[in-house]
Amino acid sequence: MMKPNACVLLGLICSTTCSLVHGQYETEIQVAKDGTADFAAIQEAIDSAKSFPDKRVTVHVKNGIYEEKVKVHSWNSRLTLQGESTDGVIIRWNDHFDKMKRGRNSTFHTATLLVDGDECCLENLTIENTAGPVGQAVALSVEADRCLIENCRLVGHQDTLYAAGTNSRQHYRNCHIEGTTDFVFGEATAYFENCTLHSKANSYITAASTPAGRPHGFVFDNCRLTAADGVKDVFLGRPWRSFAKTVFIHCEMDGHIHPAGWSNWNAPENETTAYYAEGHNTGPGADAAKRVPWAKMLSDEQAKQLTGEEVLKPFPLPAMQTSGNDVSDTRIPKDPSYTLASAYAKYKKDYPFIRAVEYDSSHGNLRQSNVCYHTVGTRKLSLDIFSADPTTGIKPAVLLVHGGGWSSGDRKLMHPLADYLSRHGFVAITVEYRLSPEARYPAAVDDLKNAVTWVLVNGQGHHIDTNKVAILGCSAGAQLAGLVGLTYRVDASVAGGQNPIRAIVNIDGVMDFTSEEVRKSEDDPSRESTPASRWLGGRYAERPERWKEASPLYYVDEQSPPIKFVNSSQPRFHAGRDEVIAKLNEYSIDSAVTTFDDAPHSFWLFDPWFEKTGMVVVRFLQKVLN
């Protein structure tokens, strides 16, 4: 444990006894609201400070209410912002998500005080976001490394404190933090010592987004968890991202803490990746008897090891990615539940005669693998290209999209069918896309549209006739293929605003999420969550507009391409099919249906249906692409 009265963090000295001038710059700056000091506004004082100083610069703030939005810039390193008293110095502003109008990332623009400068110290301040209970509204955002926040009050509702910075370490000591939902959130490694966490509503305290591979995320040591009157159902945390890490040790928890303790954020797969732990806590809320089974209970020895020095010590950073698909599979959140082996085990009992079809690389037509088609940040997205003879003229192309409930599976599941199509005169391309454990809707749709664009731009180099491009998907991949195939023209500059996709093949995928048949399974109230609700970010009642937005049915028009439906005997996977066909008929656009009686959902992966599936797909594509 760090010494209670020492203002030391990782060798960072937050002393305010520096000389008045060092190297011809001020190291002590005074702020007073009444104009009796160097500056009347805190931001003016910060802006006057030397950039990247050798010695710490301290801005002393006299008591007063400072109605201003404040930023400690990245060049304001080694800066201390020190209030005369915690209750007397109040910095407040009222930005919130809807007010910012900055799109989906508006939350990150709402902070009353934003810290970008490394080795920053905040002392004896009240920092408020006064927007009220109107959604995301950050009071303090710390996005820098080696920062100490001491004797501060952080006041807000949702998202009060954003402990940010993928590679940053932060120490919060003797602070009062209050809010409603996720009021401590972010990806930083942060150690909270002797702090009070005050819940103002039945909701969640933390929402960590710890990067994969980090030894620690949020650690709360010797803290007090309290609540407003009437609040009695508060969770300790939920994972904003899959590898969230949060630990409470030696804390006093009042009775408002929910017996389960933790939530998986409606995504059971998070239970295998998130790390939530408790040890040596006291109070009625600390009873671990009914905690979720995937939470960890720490031993005496494990709890002793979580000191400030241990949590905040330097950790290795990931290698810089410069080219190629450098992101290893272990760093990408995955749901491993849907594989060829798992599907075979599921169906073998009812269909003992089935045989799994696997791709034979020694006799197949895989010409190029791991071709990067798009980059999102440092994340490389790849595709594989199959062609029987890539030198004999141009050929039509088919993009193949795998299934797996939008959360599992991979493009290798489509390799056998891609090879089959390549042997029948097509360039077949299997495409990777981001799954829901990594990124929810519409990330997968965006990825696949980028894959189509890559084919249109680079197709000639791979002997592709870019006037004859089709997209095929299976199960969840069929829904995605339908959505991409019917909406791509909205984003297409390559094809002059027209739809360059000339055909869609839907293999047992829903076309209407809003249908009663789909909602029976994908919005089942008896289940905590479903694949669709996890991908779409909520149940139908919570996000009806998104469930409709992701339904291909609603995009059929006169520019839609012909569609082939290949179906199992499971009716719920046909939802929206007949309505789509009716709309296509209005515009005299071709459609066709093949149904395999008494076939399981993933029939295309197995004989005796694999060859039949390939045959009907080839016949359809040859007809509509000629």
C-alpha–C-alpha distance, residues 327 and 65, integer Å: 48
SS3 label, residue 269: helix
Q: What is the DSSP string of 231-249?
A: ---BEEE--SSTT-EEEEE
- The catalytic residue among 118, 145, 159, 419 is 159
CA-CA distances (angstroms) from residue 534 to 218, 294, 329, 542? 24, 19, 21, 12
* Buried-state track 550-585, b at ≥16 Cβ within 10 A, e below 16: bbbbbbbeeebbbbbbbbbeeebbbbbbebbbebbe
Residue with tokens 């199509």: 421
C-alpha–C-alpha distance, residues 491 and 414, integer Å: 26
Burial-class residue 185 by CB neighbours within 10 Å (0-12, 13-18, 19+): buried
C-alpha dihedral (424, 426, 430, 431), degrees to nearest 10: -160
C-alpha–C-alpha distance, residues 394 and 391, integer Å: 8
360 assigned to active site: no
C-alpha–C-alpha distance, residues 168 and 105, integer Å: 20
Helix (H) or strand (E) segment spanning residue 301: helix 300-304
SS3 label, residue 409: coil
C-alpha–C-alpha distance, residues 533 and 267, integer Å: 9
Give the contacts of 426 (CB within 8 A, at least 6 positions apart): 395, 396, 397, 398, 618, 621
Handedness of CA 12, 16, 18, 23 (dihedral sign): positive
CA proximity to 469, closest of 417, 516, 504: 504
CA proximity to 164, closest of 182, 188, 137: 188
419 assigned to active site: no
Region for residue 440 given its phi and psi (left: phi exceeds 0; alpha: psi -120 to 50; beta: otherwise): beta
SS3 label, residue 449: helix
CA proximity to 356, closest of 336, 369, 366, 342: 342
CA proximity to 124, closest of 161, 168, 85: 85
- The catalytic residue among 182, 335, 410, 512 is 182
Q: Are 589 and 539 in contact (CB under 8 A)?
A: no
C-alpha–C-alpha distance, residues 468 and 421, integer Å: 14
Q: How far is residue 443 CA from its own chain's centroid?
A: 10
Give the contacts of 353 (CB within 8 A, at least 6 positions apart): 608
Token readout for 45 is 């004082």
C-alpha–C-alpha distance, residues 168 and 149, integer Å: 14
Q: How many CB atoms lie within 10 A of CB 608?
A: 13
C-alpha–C-alpha distance, residues 58 and 15, integer Å: 9
The alpha-helical segments, DSSP class H, found in 367-494 are 415-422, 443-458, 476-487
Please give the positions annotated as active site: 159, 182
